[in-house]
Amino acid sequence: KAGVTQTPRYLIKTRGQQVTLSCSPISGHRSVSWYQQTPGQGLQFLFEYFSETQRNKGNFPGRFSGRQFSNSRSEMNVSTLELGDSALYLCASSRSTSTDTQYFGPGTRLTVL
């Protein structure tokens, strides 16, 4: 069974630009969550999508947004990039409920110059 895939793996942008990251969950998984990982803050929850609806949201500004498609693939978008947005963005998928295990993708490393 293929794991969670994320594209692109590496991205370099400049301040003020916007970026879109993509995540394809494990086949059969309907929940996709996004996390930001930085050396200072560790892993922080961004949001979760289930059946094309945002089910949970973390404490990030509105510049961070996401969506989920009918095939469960998800995208997250960051607008007006800031230097502090440089991080590893991780996507995790699970079947559906809170009791299910979450499996992480390899992440997209975003560098903002």
Task: Give residues in contact with other proteins (CB under 8 A).
Answer: 4, 6, 31, 33, 35, 42-45, 48, 50, 55-56, 58, 90, 92, 94, 97-107, 109
Q: How far is the CB of 55 from other proteins (least distance, A)?
A: 5
Minimum CB–partner distance for residue 88 and other proteins (Å)? 8
Closer of 16 and 84 to other proteins (Cβ): 84
Please give the angle made by the CA atoms of 71, 77 and 46, to the nearest 5 degrees.
Answer: 85
* Rounded (10°) CA dihedral 48, 107, 39, 19: -80
Q: Which two tokens stand for residue 106?
A: 């390899």
Cβ count near 6 (within 10 Å): 20
Question: Least distance from C-beta 40 to other proteins, angstroms?
Answer: 9
CB closer to other proteins out of 79 and 95 = 95
Residue 53 CB-density burial (10 A; 0-12 exposed, 13-18 middle, 19+ buried): exposed
CB 13 within 8 A of CB 81: yes
- Smallest separation, CB 80 to other proteins (Å): 25
Q: Which is nearer to other proteins, 3 or 16 (CB)?
A: 3
Q: Which is nearer to other proteins, 34 or 112 (CB)?
A: 34
